Copies of this chain bind each other. A is one copy, B any other.
Amino acid sequence: MAQYKIPVLPGDGIGPEIITEGKKVIDAAGEKFGFDVDWIEYPQGADHYLETGELISEDTLKELSAYDAIYLGSIGDDRIAPGVLEKGILLAARFYFDQYINLRPIKLLEGVWCPLKDKTPADIDFTVVRENTEDFYIGIGGRAKTGASKDLLEVSRTLYSAKFGLDIETDSEEIAYQIGMISKEGTQRVIDYSFDLAEKSDKHVSSVDKANVLSDIYGFWREEFNTIAAKHPDVKTDLNYVDAITMWFVKNPEWFDIVVTPNMFGDIITDLGAMVQGGLGLAPGGNINPNGTSMFEPIHGSAPKYKGLNKVNPIATIWAGSMLIEQLGEKEAADAIVSAIEKNILEAKVQTYDMGGSSTTSDVGSDIARILLEM
C-alpha cells in the first residue's frame, strides 16, 4: 500500500473547517484506491503569528520542501493589516518553493447554477495558467516625499514630454510607487507549460497582457509568447488585452481552452472565472513546481465572518485535494473525487447555503466521501 506524507496548513478563518473535509475525502479515496495518508499539521496563520510573531520561518519552509505537495486551507485575518499574512505565508511559500504555475481550472460542473444566461457546462471548461512568482507580486515599492517624489514624477512627466512634446507641471508633495518585473526565464517557463497543456487538449492558447499601455513589461511578455507560439504551429493562439478578456469570459467562455497570464492579471481574471463557474465555493487552484514542492488550495479566502459556523462550501477545497493527489500520481483516485463531487451536486440533497441547500460543511464532506466509497 502506497504511503504519502502530506503537510497541511489549515490556516485562518474557515480554513480548518474546509481542510477537515478535504482530508476526509482524500482518506476515503485512499481507502478505496489503496493508499494511506499521514497528515502532518502546521499551525501557521493569524493565531500563530499573534502568539509567536512568526509568519513562516525558513526552517519550516526547508522542512516542507521535503514533500511533493502541501494542502493549504486559507490565509487572512481581519486583526492583521492587509498583506501581512498573505505575503508572509502564502506568497512566501509560492516564492520559496518556486511554484511558478498557478493552475486554475474554470469548469462549470453539471447541476451548478451559473450566473450567465445561455451557458452550459459544455461552454465553461477551460484552464487558466497563471504565472505565480513574478510581475507585480515581487513586493518592490515605496513612498517618497517632495524631493524624491518630484524626481519620480519628473521622470514620468519628462518621459511623456520627450515622447509627445508635452510640458506638464505638477506640485504633488507625496507619491507611492510599485515596481513589477518579469524575467525571460520566468516568462518562458509558464508559457511553455501552457503550450504543453494545450498540446494535450484543444490546442488553443490565449495570452493575456496590456501591451498597449504597460508596454515595457507586457511588450516583453508578448514577444516571448509569440516566440514560443511560433514553435507550436499546430496550436491556435490569440493575444488578448486584459480589459477585453473580462468581457470574453462573460460573453464567450466557450472560446477558451488554455489561458496563460501574468501573475496580477491572473489573480483578477480567475476570480471572475470562479464566479462564472458558479462561485468561489467551487474553485480550486494548484501552485505548482513540476520538479519541487507544490501547494493546493481553494482560491477563496478565509471568510472570517463564517469561521466556526460549519456553513461554507468545502467543494473548492475537496477539488483542490483531488488536484493534490493527482500531482502525487493517484490519477484514478483524483478523477473519482471529482466524480463524487459531481454526483453530490447532481443529487442536490446535501448542499451548503451558497448552492441553495442548508447542509453543513461537514455534511457535504461526508456525503462526498460516502458517494466515493459507494461508487
A: which residues have CB within 8 A of B? Answer: 55-58, 61, 76, 82-83, 86-88, 91-92, 95-96, 98, 114-117, 136-143, 149, 152-153, 155-156, 159-160, 163-168, 170-186, 210-222, 242-244, 246-247, 250-251, 264-265, 267-272, 274-276, 279-280
- For A55, give the chain B residue with the smallest CB separation: B164
Q: Which of B136, B149, B156 contacts A213 (CB 8 A)?
A: B136
Are A95 and B160 closer than 8 Å at their CB atoms? yes
Question: How many Å lie between the Cα of A170 and that of B184 in the bound state?
Answer: 11
Are A268 and B268 closer than 8 Å at their CB atoms? yes
Q: Nearest chain B CB to A298's CB is how many angstroms away?
A: 14
Are A217 and B58 closer than 8 Å at their CB atoms? no
Q: Which residues of B contact A92 (CB under 8 A)?
A: 160, 163-164, 166
Q: Which of B117, B153, B179 contacts A117 (CB 8 A)?
A: B117
Q: Which of B164, B244, B276 contacts A56 (CB 8 A)?
A: B164
Q: Which of B96, B141, B159 contacts A217 (CB 8 A)?
A: B141
Question: How many Å lie between the Cα of A336 and that of B76 in the bound state?
Answer: 49
Q: Nearest chain B CB to A96's CB is how many angstroms away?
A: 5
Question: How many Å lie between the Cα of A271 and that of B272 in the bound state?
Answer: 13
Are A184 and B174 closer than 8 Å at their CB atoms? yes
Are B140 and A155 closer than 8 Å at their CB atoms? yes
Question: How many Å lie between the Cα of A184 and that of B176 in the bound state?
Answer: 8
Q: Which of B95, B175, B216, B269 contacts A182 (CB 8 A)?
A: B175
Given contacts A140-B216, A141-B215, A174-B184, 15 further A-B contacts (CB under 8 A): A58-B165, A58-B167, A83-B215, A86-B213, A92-B164, A136-B213, A136-B214, A139-B215, A140-B156, A172-B186, A176-B220, A213-B264, A243-B270, A246-B246, A246-B268
Q: Which residues of B contact A274 (CB under 8 A)?
A: 247
Q: Which of B82, B217, B280 contacts A212 (CB 8 A)?
A: B82
Closest 3 CB pairs of A and B: A141-B216, A176-B220, A172-B183
Are A182 and B176 closer than 8 Å at their CB atoms? yes
Q: Which residues of B contact A173 (CB under 8 A)?
A: 183-185
Question: How many Å lie between the Cα of A160 and that of B267 in the bound state?
Answer: 20
Known: A82-B215, A215-B82, A251-B275. A95 touches B141 (CB 8 A): no
Q: By CB atoms of chain B within 10 A, which of A160, A173, A179, A219 has the most?
A: A179
- For A274, give the chain B residue with the smallest CB separation: B247
Question: How many Å lie between the Cα of A61 and that of B168 in the bound state?
Answer: 12
Q: Nearest chain B CB to A275's CB is how many angstroms away?
A: 4
